[in-house]
Structure 1
Amino acid sequence: MKLEHIGLIGYGEVGKIFCAGLLKQLGVTGVGAWDLKFAQAETQATERAHAAQAGIDARSCMQALCEDSELILSAVTASATLAVAQEAAAFLRPGTIFLDLNSASPGTKQQAATLIEAAGGHYVEAGVMTSVPPYGIRVPMLLGGVRATALARALTGWGMDAKVVSDRIGVASAIKMCRSVMIKGLEALVIESYSTARAYGVEDHVLPTLQETFPGIDWSAEGAYFFSRVAQHGQRRAEEMRESAHTVREAGFQPFMAAAIAEKQQWVADEAKAGVLAGVPKGAPWQAYADALLAARKP
């Protein structure tokens, strides 16, 4: 499988990490990227400068990216998954591999696959199974699709952790989405429980009981991590949880929990956007986040 020219759609946190990592791989002669931020007046100078410094070719449009790529990775927000696949399908070269990294439901991935395959491309879905930053391009991924096995061989040759779970589209995303209900749900529960405990002044009683019941988890440290990740990426997490709710609905159930988790993640994202958490320093304990949220509740 010849993969010399790689294109990234979405130059956000994940896109930047993958661009930098893939550029270093043997046989890769160039990595390009396209993001709407490259064309927006308020962001284009900063984002294009970042890409240039990293050795990434910031493309002028989706068409320019697709016409020069043998492998395209889509790393956008969950809500944009289908729209990006539809736009890319109009410009793909026949035989292009389209690797969809986005956190979307099986149904959404299947619709995206139909668009890419109809355009002559080869769609492979990826379920990214944990947070990307600690791992970089070696983050554990589950692949699905007819071309998943061939692509996995190429990716593992670059040192990536890519495992094939099915030749059918939807299996990898179902695994990812079901896991997200648990992980993002735990984040939402911790934020709601800890903040409420802080409001009543009972956190020193609540956390020890959690520690006793689940001794393998450092509940204070995990609390700080959960608060910080949701404060930073709550919008993205809320969109992912809406896709998780679609996944539950596609299975024939009402997504009571997934929908509620999405609402909680969105609430934290909105609070962060409003500046409520702006004074919380990096590496702060969970109490600092809870105090900031509580202060905003006071009349």
Structure 2
Amino acid sequence: MNSTAVAGLRIAVLGLGEAGGTIAGDLVAAGALVRGYDPKVAAPPGVVGTGGEAEAAAGSDLVLSVNSASAAPDALRAGLAGAAPGCLWADLNTASPAVKRHLGEVAADAGIDLVDVALMATVPGRGLRTPMLASGTAAGRYAGLLRPLGARVDVLDGPAGLAAERKLLRSVFYKGWAAAAVEALEAARAVGCEEWLREHIADELTHADAATLDRLVDGSHRHAVRRAAEMQAATDMLDDLAVPPLISTASRDLLRRLSTR
């Protein structure tokens, strides 16, 4: 840690829930001067609590907005009333690229640089060391401020919205993958073979590699008609088991679309 770079660094954290509170605590431990605001959560030890976004942002070198995608626009507008020229605003919320671009435009109109930051793993257990992607014209500056405190920041060469785009593209796979596992295990539980299916899924994940991805994608295109019929049968089975076939239906519909190409 570069103590010279950290000394006197003033950071505001908006949103002190599970993610924001953990990051704020790590920033304090790293030697930063941290002010925070959350309408529902008290400031953790070492963080100076404030009465609003503008008060937290006042005098700060960096503002971290870690509340929610829905709250981010209002938090930005409120915080800009206290942010001084030269302050850097970082939005760490999981929002769409369009929302991030809009936030960047609002900040730019106020003469403030905004960085789009995507948290690429869960924060609990990692805190400030959670891998981050940062985009926007001031992304390099953001990395320069936080890396000396122990943050893991990769900078993308592109505008605000690019980091969010990368995260959400990954989310389509990871969250869809998780949802498929939840649905399949629920159905297996209904027929009394959950443990069998759990072991089967774990074995597939353990042995997966790049060739597995090629097989999944190529096979879906090549055998779309047959697989769509198979997923229709799976959907019918889940209906009979009173398990909502949300992922199974979506898989069937995607395969049907591929079959028409």
1:143 match: secondary structure? strand
The CA deviation string for residues 277-298 of structure 1, in whole angstroms up to 9 with x for no partner, is: xxxxxxxxxxxxxxxxxxxxxx
Matched, 1:92 2:58: no
C-alpha deviation, 1:182, in angstroms: 1.6
C-alpha deviation, 1:112, in angstroms: 0.5
How many aligned residue pairs are there?
Answer: 206
Distance 2:202 2:20 in 1: 37
**5+ residue gaps in structure 2?**
209-245, 251-261
Distance 1:138 1:193 in 2: 34
Q: Structure 2 length normalisation: TM-score?
A: 0.73
1:160 alignment partner in structure 2: 151
2:150 match: secondary structure? coil
1:140 alignment partner in structure 2: 131
1:242 alignment partner in structure 2: none
The CA deviation string for residues 187-241 of structure 1, in whole angstroms up to 9 with x for no partner, is: 2222221122111112133233323433348xxxxxxxxxxxxxxxxxxxxxxxx
Distance 2:70 2:15 in 1: 13
Match of 2:198 among 207, 210, 215: 207
C-alpha deviation, 1:25, in angstroms: 2.2
Distance 2:21 2:207 in 1: 34
The CA deviation string for residues 255-294 of structure 1, in whole angstroms up to 9 with x for no partner, is: x98xx8xxxxxxxxxxxxxxxxxxxxxxxxxxxxxxxxxx
Match of 1:103 among 58, 75, 94: 94
| CA distance 1:213–1:114, shift in 2 (3 Å) | same
1:78 match: secondary structure? coil
2:17 counterpart letter in structure 1? G
2:221 alignment partner in structure 1: none
Distance 1:216 1:77 in 2: 36
Matched, 1:183 2:183: no
| CA distance 1:191–1:122, shift in 2 (3 Å) | same
Distance 1:18 1:198 in 2: 38
2:117 match: secondary structure? strand
1:174 alignment partner in structure 2: 165
2:71 match: secondary structure? helix
C-alpha deviation, 1:154, in angstroms: 2.2
Match of 1:82 among 73, 87, 103: 73
Distance 2:77 2:176 in 1: 31
1:36 alignment partner in structure 2: 39
Distance 1:162 1:213 in 2: 32
2:131 counterpart letter in structure 1? P
1:13 alignment partner in structure 2: 18
1:81 counterpart letter in structure 2? A
Aligned Cα root-mean-square deviation (Å)? 2.2
1:132 match: secondary structure? coil
1:8 match: secondary structure? strand
1:209 counterpart letter in structure 2? H
Percent identity over the alignment is 30
Give the conservation status (yes or no) of the 8 Å contact 1:86–1:112: no
Matching of residues 225-244 of structure 1 within 5 Å: none
1:221 alignment partner in structure 2: none
C-alpha deviation, 1:171, in angstroms: 1.1
C-alpha deviation, 1:117, in angstroms: 1.4
Distance 1:22 1:205 in 2: 45
Q: Structure 1 length normalisation: TM-score?
A: 0.64
Worse-superposed segment, 122-131 or 186-195: 186-195
The CA deviation string for residues 17-53 of structure 1, in whole angstroms up to 9 with x for no partner, is: 1111111224x2x21111121xxxxxxxxx43xx26x
| CA distance 1:213–1:62, shift in 2 (3 Å) | closer
Could you say which structure has the larger radius of gyration?
2
